[in-house]
Chains A and B, each alone.
Chain A
Amino acid sequence: MTDIFALEDIHVAYGKVEAVRGVSLSMQAGTITSVIGPNGAGKTTLLAAAIGLLPSTGAVRFKGEDIAHLGVEDRVELGLCLVPETRELFGEMSVVDNLMLGAYARRSARRRMPGLLDDVYDRFPRLAERRDQQADTLSGGERQMLAVGRALMSEPQLLMLDEPSLGLAPLIVIEILDIVKSLRHEGVSVLLVEQNALAALDCSDHGYVLESGELSFSGASAALKADQRIFETYLGGL
C-alpha cells in the first residue's frame, strides 16, 4: 500500500541552527500518526516544513509525488491542511466566515459548502451556537474547535494538528481528541504533534519520538506505550 504522506531526510534550519535534522517518517491513508517529544524537539518546525511555511531540504511526498517545491497554498489545494499551535484564526471575523474561508482553496469543498458547514456544526454544536460571534471573543477551547472545524471545511486528506491540547481544559482535550479519532473512519489521515505523549499515543496508530531535531524511536503506538525507556522518559512523568 502506498503511503499517503512521507517525509524523507528533512532538514530545517533557522539561520545556522538546524532545528530538524534528517527526519524521515511515513504514514498510510486513514491512519493517525503521532509525533511526540519534549519542548523544543522540533515538532512544530517539522509540521511547518511539511505544509511549506518554512523552507526545508529533503523530499515531502504526498501520494507518492514529491511536493517539496510547492508553496503552502498549492499543498492546501492538494488536500493537506495544518492546524497550527497558534490557531491562526481570523479574529475580527465571525465564526461562520472563518469556517467558510476554510473551504476557500478547494473547489469541491466550495461546492458542498452548506453541507460541510452542517457537518462541522454537528461535530461542534458550540460553534453552531456562536456562528455569528467574532472569533476573537471565543474561549480557548472554542477557538481550537473553530481551528479544527475550519480545517475540516477543506475536506483534507491529510490533517496536521500541532498541539491541539495546548492550554485547554482536560474535558475539552478529550472532546477534541475524540473527534480526531473519529476522522480515521472517514478516510482522513491525521498527523498529530503533541507534548501530551500519553494522550497522543492513546489515539494514534503509529508514533514517532522526536528529540533535539532527530527521531529517536518509532513504532506502533501500543508498542511505544509499552516500551520501558519511552515510558520512563515521556510517560513516567505524567
Chain B
Amino acid sequence: MSLDIALILSVDGLAAAAIYLLAGLGLVLVFSVTRVIFVPFGDIAVFSALTLAFLEAGRTPPTIALVAILAGLTTAKECWQLIRQRNLSRLPRILLAWGALPLIPCIPAVLAAGRDLPPAVAVAISLGLVLPIVPLLARLVYQPIADASVLVLLIASLVLHFLLSGLGLLFFGPEGFRTQPLLRGGINLAPGLFVSLQVVLMIATALLLALLFFLAFEKTLTGKALRATAINRTGARLVGIRPSMTATLTFGATSLLAGVVGILIAPATTMYYDSGLIIGLKAFVAAIIGGLGSYPLTALGAVAVGLVESFASFWNGAMKDVIVFSLLIPALLVRSHYSSHSDDGAEEEV
C-alpha cells in the first residue's frame, strides 16, 4: 500500500469515525442516564435520512404520520395513567407536553411538502420531525419499565428496533434513497489527496457537537443533573432531579444526534429502511471500547472503528464488518482485566 492510498483511506475512515462518534455519544449518554442500550439509534438515523430524501423529492414525508401516531399513543397512555391516579389537574399539562408539543415540527413539514426547498430548510425540517420520536418512544416503551433490569431494557430495545424497522418499511417503502450533498466541491490537501467538503462537514459537525455536549455537561446545571443521575440515581432524586425529566432530555438529545447522523450519512451511502442496525452496532463497538460510560474513550473507539473499517474494506471488502466487530474481543479482554467484577451485581441492584 502506498502512502497516497493510506491517506485516502484515513480520510474515509475519519469521515466514518465522525458518524460513529455521534452515534457512540448518543448510546453512552442514554445508557449512563437511563441504563437503556438504545439499539434503535440507527433506525432513527434512517428516519431522518429518508425524511430528507422525501422532502428533496418534493414528497410529503411519512414521518409526520409516525410522529402523530406516537404522540396520540403517548398522550392516551399518559391520560389513562392520570385517570387511574385520579390526578386530573395535570391533564392540561400532559395534553400540551405529549399531545401538542411533538406535533409542532409537523406543521412546517406539511407546509413545505411539494415545494422546492433550500437544503438548509429541508435539513432543519427533517431534524425537527425526528426530534420528538425518541422521547415519545421512550415515554411509551421505557418509562413504564424504567426500574427493570438492564437485560429487560435491552430486550425492549431489540423489540423496538424490529418494530421501527418494520414501520420504516411500511412508511418509506423498500427502495433506497441517497440525498444531495450538503456541500459540493473539495480541497486538495496534498497532490493526490482530495478531500470533499462533505467529508469536512461530517468531521467538523461531529467535533462541534462533541464539544457542545462537553460544555453542556460540564458547565450547565441541567447537564450536571444528567451526569448526577448517571452517577447516583438515589442521590439525584434526593436533590429533586426527576428521573422522567432527565430521561426525556436524554432521549431528546439522542434523537437530535441520530437525526444529525442520518443527515450526514445519507449523501454518502444509499439508505434503506433497514440500514440503521449496522450503524448502531458499529457505534456500539465504539461505545463498548469506552465502557459505555466514558465519552473520551468512546471518541477514541469511534476513530478506531472508522479507521479499521476503512482499511479493512480496502484489503478485504467482504470481511470488513467481521474485522470491525472483532475489535470487541480485545476491547472486552482489556476492559474485563481492568474492571472490578463486583460491579456487575451492583449494577443490577440499581
Contact = CB atoms under 8 A, between A and B. Distances in A.
Interface of A: 51, 53, 72-73, 76-77, 81-82, 84, 88-93, 97, 100-102, 104-106, 110, 150, 154
A166 B238 CA distance: 20
A117 to B, nearest CB: 13
Contacts of B235: 88-90
A72 B286 CA distance: 36
Contacts of A91: 231-232
B227 A90 contact: yes
A53 B239 CA distance: 12
A73 B236 CA distance: 9
A97 B234 CA distance: 17
Given A76-B239, A106-B240, 16 more contacts: A51-B238, A53-B234, A53-B237, A73-B242, A77-B240, A84-B234, A89-B235, A93-B228, A97-B224, A97-B228, A101-B225, A101-B239, A102-B239, A104-B241, A105-B241, A154-B240
Contacts of A100: 221, 224
A93 B228 CA distance: 8
Interface in B236-266: 236-242
Contacts of A88: 232, 234-235, 238
Interface string B203-242: 0000000000000000001001101100110111111111
Report which residue of B225, B231, B235, B240 has the largest number of chain A beta carbons within 10 angstroms of its beta carbon.
B240
13 contacts: A51-B238, A73-B237, A73-B240, A73-B241, A76-B239, A88-B234, A88-B238, A90-B228, A90-B231, A90-B232, A90-B235, A91-B232, A102-B239
Given A73-B242, A76-B238, A82-B238, A93 B227 contact: yes
B239 A154 contact: yes
A158 B320 CA distance: 61
B225 A92 contact: no
Nearest to B245: A73
Contacts of A102: 239
Nearest to A89: B235
A104 B231 contact: no
Contacts of B234: 53, 84, 88
Contacts of B236: 90, 101
Question: A-B pairs with the 9 shortest C-beta distances?
Answer: A105-B240, A88-B235, A76-B240, A72-B237, A73-B242, A90-B228, A90-B231, A73-B240, A88-B234
Nearest to B243: A73
Interface string B288-330: 0000000000000000000000000000000000000000000
Report which residue of B221, B232, B237, B238 has the largest number of chain A beta carbons within 10 angstroms of its beta carbon.
B238
A26 B323 CA distance: 67
Contacts of A90: 227-228, 231-232, 235-236
Contacts of B224: 93, 97, 100-101
Contacts of A92: 231
Nearest to B244: A73
Contacts of B237: 53, 72-73
A105 B239 contact: yes
Given A76-B239, A154-B239, A101 B221 contact: yes
Contacts of A82: 238
Nearest to B86: A69
A110 B221 contact: yes
Interface string B45-86: 000000000000000000000000000000000000000000
Interface string B9-32: 000000000000000000000000
A47 B224 CA distance: 27
B247 to A, nearest CB: 13
Contacts of A81: 238
B232 A89 contact: yes
Contacts of B238: 51, 53, 72, 76, 81-82, 84, 88
Nearest to A77: B240
Nearest to B237: A72
A104 B229 CA distance: 12
A212 to B, nearest CB: 26
A92 B227 CA distance: 9
Contacts of A51: 238
A97 B241 CA distance: 14
Report which residue of A92, A102, A106 has the largest number of chain B beta carbons within 10 angstroms of its beta carbon.
A92
Contacts of B228: 90, 93, 97, 101
B332 to A, nearest CB: 23
Nearest to B240: A105
B245 to A, nearest CB: 8
A104 B239 contact: yes
Contacts of B241: 73, 101, 104-105
Contacts of B240: 72-73, 76-77, 104-106, 154
B94 to A, nearest CB: 16
Contact of B231 (A53, A72, A77, A93): A93
Interface in B80-123: none
B93 to A, nearest CB: 14
A81 B232 CA distance: 17
A82 B240 CA distance: 11
